[in-house]
Structure 1
Amino acid sequence: MNNSAYPAMQPVAHQTREQAIADGHFYLVGGGIASLAAAAFLIRDADVPGCLITVLEALDKPGGSLDGGGSPQEGYVVRGGRMLESKYLCTYDLFDSIPTLDGRGSVTKEIFDWNETIRTSSKARFVRDGRRENAPPYGLAETQLLTLGRLSLEPEALLGDSRISDHFEPAFFETNFWTMWSTTFAFQPWHSAAEFRRYLLRFAHMTPGFNQMHGIMRTVYNQYDSMVRPLRKWLDERGVRFRANTRVIDLRYDESGELNRVAGIVCEQDDRRVEIPVGEEDKVIVTLGSMTAGSSLGGTNRAAAFNHDDSTGAWALWKTIAAGRTEFGHPTVFADHVDESRWLSFAATLHDPTLFRLVRDLTGNVPGEGGLITFPQSNWLASIVLPHQPHFMGQPKDVDVFWGYGLFVDRPGNFVGKPMIECTGREIMTELLGHLHIQAQAPRILDDAICIPCLMPFITSQFLRRKRGDRPNVVPEGWANLAFVGQFCELPNDVVFTVEYSVRSAQTAVYTLLGLDRSAPAVYKGPYDPRVVYGAASALHSR
């Protein structure tokens, strides 16, 4: 890479805003969904030519946490599956402009059509003692309901950096409600009470059907194939430039004017350090942090290693640029507590239909219809999802793929006397088959399965306790050409750990940086609808 690949725009006197938009170059740090969305909004809503947009990504392909890949021979891998729902207004606004890979319509239309065909309706949200539980009751006591109500009404600022466990007695965390909530969203008792409150409000409209996963929407394939690939193709066709294997390590500033500016982007590529000059009319959009940084893959006969090293440099970059700058937030709040943010997922590739047939018979759901299946008796608090097949484009008809995860990775298993974090893929499958009470067919299933564990140290770092100012504003105060996007910037009312949050941050960044007379769609506020409030209250009080 050389600096000539990144033309720096010279200041031009008396430019109009339209001229600045047309002439300025846009540098997007990070290749996840937030940056891809920002590039699309720049092109679609600000008429920025794609050739003036450069995406700098430390890895060898875009997509960030929305990844997916593999083969029938080596096994498929997805680190997770993002659930969607009908009120993800920014996401559907974006993807309404993006054609599917086959060109039959927009990605948004495909998602809605698909979910009309296969509606999520779990008949086995829990499996206990090898038996399914259809629509398990929430089991909340009156005092717990009162606390939920208080949290919903109390201003977020009053919660500070308190934990969820600071507001509930231990019995709350034994209820069916908490087991469903924690495994659906990956909350832990020590996570942020403020974030928990946001989720209570944001998904209040889904409470009545929460115990059967009603309202949960999925993509036809994994999110990389269904969302990232079409978006990347659309951006490629418009000339957006992608620079893979380019790790951004610092920003250089010009603080001589009324507003501060980013004047340079310091990168490493091929063990060389280079600086990209940032001109007067250029803009820089940085994805802060990474929930899948440091991910480590194991294998069927190999446990995943616990990896503290973030090869993307996302956390190191945030720590570097935030040093001495409170307006850039406090990355250590999220990055330095991996014992509170890690868990392990796994993806299994099967060439034999036995397991899928047995799970279908047990649950009463065909793959793709049931959503998350949780084993409440699991020491790991393990859950699995059997998606519609094929889950990957090009996946053979005689191959099945499913995904699962465990929240308590340091506890010994019920059937395998080892912590989940130390288990091979085969041992994880053994534990799963034990909870399904599948004994006779277990050897056949285990001999066939390719199971790949994935340990993610930062996966729920965005849920860690935080207070006001720990997450910076999308456009930090006092800066002319810099914006932050992703899961670690502040968007009032919306909830992290969602595709929607990343897309909303991108839309907000583009419109604010460019001074466009537009705004992202408002966050849906179900609690302002009396029907939503009545439905949620009635469901929570049911025993």
Structure 2
Amino acid sequence: MTIHEQPHVADRHAHFVGGGIASLAGAAFLVRDGNMPGENIHVYEKLDVTGGAMDGAGDPEEGYLIRGGRMFNYPTYECTWDLFETIPSLEGDSRSVKDVMDEFNDANPSHAETRLMYEGERIDASEYGLTDQHRQSLARLLLTPEAKLGDTRIEEWFDESFLETNFWYVWATIFAFQPWHSAAEVRRYMYRFLHEFPQLHTMEGVDRTKYNQYDSMILPLRHWLEDRGVNFEYGHVVTDMDIVPSRSGRTVERIHCETDSGTESVDVDASDLVFVTNGSMTDGSSIGGMDEVPELNETGASWELWKSIAEDNPQFGNPSVFADNVTETKWESFTVTLHNTELFDHIVEFTQEEPGNGLVTYLGSNWLLSTVVASQPHFENQPDDVKVFWGYALFPDREGNYVEKPMSECTGREILEELCYHLQCEEQLPEMLDDVTCIPAMMPFITAHFQPREPGDRPKVVPDGSNNLAFLGQYAEQPRDVVFTVEYSVRSAMTAVYDLLDLDETVPPVTKHYRDPDVLADAVRAAYR
């Protein structure tokens, strides 16, 4: 059957495996641009909530939880803004989600005053500290074609002194890069965000949502989809798919799920569409508590499914490259809810950063701790007298400076004790932690997408020879775009929908800011600070 013989879109169905932002965006593009009836779209999610990594949950009594915070950049999120400028906000008026974000950022612009601290002192992060050798290595990386980099690691490309510069600490803690991550991915980020080089230390180019990303973006999008009849099948773990090869290519004919009530199979017509989020940065997450240590899981449903379908289909990528080294792909975050706001107030005073400015990294921390004090309230249901902040560490397996154990073995209380040491208020323990809740989250695959890789390890969004299957998210290959972003997921969804429906629509191209002479000149000047 050729594309011209396909039945009308109203007679076709679409199945999304995973309920993260990529699937939600894909469903929206099917409805908005493909004119598919919402009731023909089915989203299978193992949890009881959608949104994936764009999460935000809890209440003031039990405590709030954000596994990770997404940052946005206006000129580099072309597909994201294309979507959210058409999704109504939940503000009760005619403004879109993008309108509300724009108004919030106009009123609350980011401008970090204290991006780096060491032993209680503010570091001038505007002085990047790069040497001529560092600058030469950066230039050589940018001039080397990605295909020639292969699975080269960052620590193989730059010398050890580069990894101790202010530039690297600022860069690594914004984007969550580790020395053992892919040099090819760093190269992509440098091209994509070259226009941000002069202001990395102030984070002026960062846009944020009014509340956490779940309240501000996922909820409005989900409501929009539900209003159009999209079916959300919660508690459904997709375990396998029947993919049948033929002369015309590979076709998904059946989806197998595990549910609370047993095993289910969903028949898929050859003209139907199947979208799979292959791998997830928050899969296998474990949540701890004030007096509970989160566990470390070493697998997750999305990874098991990808391995299953790639076993007989090599063009579907190599999931083991990303999923089989949890030691290198994990880090830990924590969300703090404060009824007693003494610690919150101390952070603001100690760092001289007003809520909403940006993240502060504590260079003296063995764990390489960073904290983010967002504009308050950060949750729609957050009372005025309750405060919330978030933090994370890139090296959770190192022993703490104050708490003599790795962060990965710490309770929420012990994480806060370690933080208080770096905030130089440990003498006020335990009073400062009275009526405070810290919920740690261990995420074994949070940076798996940065693992050194070779061409082909990530499948194409629509693999060669695929008749009705597309891949979405961080592990679907999209040339030149950067993986640890909402934009990458949304772009994959738009690409997949437009391709499989053969729409006469164009995916917005990745903007080439690096070709602007002014951007190049400003970046070079910043490299000499």
Is 128-137 or 405-414 further displaced after alignment? 128-137
Root-mean-square deviation (CA, aligned residues, Å) is 1.4
Q: Corresponding residue for 1:515? A: 502
* CA drift at 1:350: 0.4
Q: Corresponding residue for 1:108? A: 98
2:87 to 86, 95, 98: 98
1:175 to 152, 165, 168: 165
1:34 to 16, 19, 22: 22
In the alignment, is the contact (CA less than 8 A) between 2:73 and 2:205 conserved in 1?
A: yes
Q: Corresponding residue for 2:367? A: 380
* CA drift at 1:120: 0.6
2:296 to 294, 306, 311: 306
Whether 1:262 and 2:257 are equivalent positions in the alignment is: no
CA offsets per residue over residues 70-95 of structure 1, 9 Å max, x none?
11111100001001011211111100
In the alignment, is the contact (CA less than 8 A) between 2:369 and 2:392 conserved in 1?
A: yes
Q: AA paired with 1:366? A: E
2:445 to 436, 448, 458: 458
* CA drift at 1:271: 5.1
What is the alpha-carbon distance in structure 1 between the residues aligned to residue 242 and residue 86 of structure 2? Answer: 35
What is the alpha-carbon distance in structure 2 between the residues aligned to residue 246 and residue 165 of structure 1? Answer: 41
Whether 1:499 and 2:486 are equivalent positions in the alignment is: yes
What is the alpha-carbon distance in structure 2 between the residues aligned to residue 113 and residue 144 of structure 1? Answer: 39
Q: Corresponding residue for 2:339? A: 351
Is 435-444 or 94-103 further displaced after alignment? 435-444
CA offsets per residue over residues 379-416 of structure 1, 9 Å max, x none?
00000000011111111111001000011111111111
Q: AA paired with 1:479? A: S
Whether 1:529 and 2:529 are equivalent positions in the alignment is: no
Whether 1:273 and 2:263 are equivalent positions in the alignment is: yes
What is the alpha-carbon distance in structure 2 between the residues aligned to residue 69 and residue 33 of structure 1? Answer: 16
2:276 to 259, 283, 286: 286
1:89 to 56, 60, 78: 78
What is the alpha-carbon distance in structure 1 between the residues aligned to residue 33 and residue 426 of structure 2? Answer: 57
Distance 1:122 1:251, change over 3 A: same
Distance 1:493 1:437, change over 3 A: same
For the residue of structure 2 that corresponds to 1:177, the secondary structure is helix
For the residue of structure 2 that corresponds to 1:46, the secondary structure is coil
Q: Corresponding residue for 2:58? A: 70
* CA drift at 1:236: 0.3
2:348 to 347, 360, 366: 360
Runs of 4+ in 1 over 6 A off after TM superposition: none
Q: AA paired with 1:99? A: P
What is the alpha-carbon distance in structure 1 between the residues aligned to residue 59 and residue 103 of structure 2? Answer: 28
In the alignment, is the contact (CA less than 8 A) between 1:304 and 1:454 conserved in 2?
A: yes
Whether 1:191 and 2:181 are equivalent positions in the alignment is: yes
1:118 to 108, 115, 119: 108
For the residue of structure 1 that corresponds to 2:390, the secondary structure is strand
Q: Corresponding residue for 1:339? A: 327
Q: AA paired with 2:495? A: T
What is the alpha-carbon distance in structure 1 between the residues aligned to residue 67 and residue 487 of structure 2? Answer: 18
CA offsets per residue over residues 51-110 of structure 1, 9 Å max, x none?
110001111111111111111111100001001011211111100111111233100111
In the alignment, is the contact (CA less than 8 A) between 1:134 and 1:212 conserved in 2?
A: no
Whether 1:295 and 2:264 are equivalent positions in the alignment is: no
What is the alpha-carbon distance in structure 1 between the residues aligned to residue 351 and residue 102 of structure 2? Answer: 25
* CA drift at 1:530: 0.8
* CA drift at 1:448: 2.4
What is the alpha-carbon distance in structure 2 between the residues aligned to residue 15 and residue 374 of structure 1? Answer: 56
In the alignment, is the contact (CA less than 8 A) between 2:125 and 2:166 conserved in 1?
A: no
What is the alpha-carbon distance in structure 2 between the residues aligned to residue 14 and residue 248 of structure 1? Answer: 28
For the residue of structure 2 that corresponds to 1:266, the secondary structure is strand
What is the alpha-carbon distance in structure 1 between the residues aligned to residue 523 and residue 407 of structure 2? Answer: 35
What is the alpha-carbon distance in structure 1 between the residues aligned to residue 317 and residue 426 of structure 2? Answer: 52
Q: Corresponding residue for 2:42? A: 54
1:473 to 460, 478, 481: 460
In the alignment, is the contact (CA less than 8 A) between 2:299 and 2:323 conserved in 1?
A: no
* CA drift at 1:517: 1.3
Distance 1:15 1:160, change over 3 A: closer
Q: AA paired with 1:137? A: E
Q: AA paired with 1:116? A: D
Unaligned runs of 5+ in 2: none
Q: Corresponding residue for 2:306? A: 318
What is the alpha-carbon distance in structure 2 between the residues aligned to residue 80 and residue 14 of structure 1? Answer: 41
For the residue of structure 1 that corresponds to 2:430, the secondary structure is helix
In the alignment, is the contact (CA less than 8 A) between 2:343 and 2:433 conserved in 1?
A: no
In the alignment, is the contact (CA less than 8 A) between 1:82 and 1:223 conserved in 2?
A: yes
Q: Corresponding residue for 1:209? A: 199
For the residue of structure 1 that corresponds to 2:8, the secondary structure is helix
What is the alpha-carbon distance in structure 2 between the residues aligned to residue 218 and residue 135 of structure 1? Answer: 21
In the alignment, is the contact (CA less than 8 A) between 1:125 and 1:136 conserved in 2?
A: no
Q: AA paired with 1:183? A: T
Q: AA paired with 2:367? A: W
Is 169-178 or 31-40 further displaced after alignment? 169-178
Q: Corresponding residue for 2:431? A: 444
What is the alpha-carbon distance in structure 1 between the residues aligned to residue 28 and residue 14 of structure 2? Answer: 12
Q: AA paired with 1:361? A: E
For the residue of structure 2 that corresponds to 1:377, the secondary structure is coil
For the residue of structure 1 that corresponds to 2:264, the secondary structure is strand
In the alignment, is the contact (CA less than 8 A) between 2:336 and 2:439 conserved in 1?
A: yes
* CA drift at 1:161: 0.6
Whether 1:221 and 2:211 are equivalent positions in the alignment is: yes
CA offsets per residue over residues 316-339 of structure 1, 9 Å max, x none?
000000003111000000000101
Q: Corresponding residue for 1:8? A: none
What is the alpha-carbon distance in structure 1 between the residues aligned to residue 294 and residue 243 of structure 2? Answer: 40
Q: Between Structure 1 and Structure 2, how many residues are aligned?
A: 527
Whether 1:244 and 2:234 are equivalent positions in the alignment is: yes
The two structures have a TM-score, normalised by structure 2, of 0.97
For the residue of structure 1 that corresponds to 2:497, the secondary structure is helix
Unaligned runs of 5+ in 1: 1-10
In the alignment, is the contact (CA less than 8 A) between 1:474 and 1:483 conserved in 2?
A: yes
Q: Corresponding residue for 1:45? A: 33
What is the alpha-carbon distance in structure 1 between the residues aligned to residue 97 and residue 5 of structure 2? Answer: 35
Percent identity over the alignment is: 51
Q: Corresponding residue for 1:5? A: none
Distance 1:14 1:37, change over 3 A: closer
Q: AA paired with 1:42? A: L
What is the alpha-carbon distance in structure 2 between the residues aligned to residue 402 and residue 441 of structure 1? Answer: 19
For the residue of structure 2 that corresponds to 1:213, the secondary structure is coil
* CA drift at 1:257: 4.4
* CA drift at 1:442: 3.6
What is the alpha-carbon distance in structure 1 between the residues aligned to residue 107 and residue 498 of structure 2? Answer: 35
For the residue of structure 1 that corresponds to 2:249, the secondary structure is coil
In the alignment, is the contact (CA less than 8 A) between 1:127 and 1:436 conserved in 2?
A: no
* CA drift at 1:280: 2.4
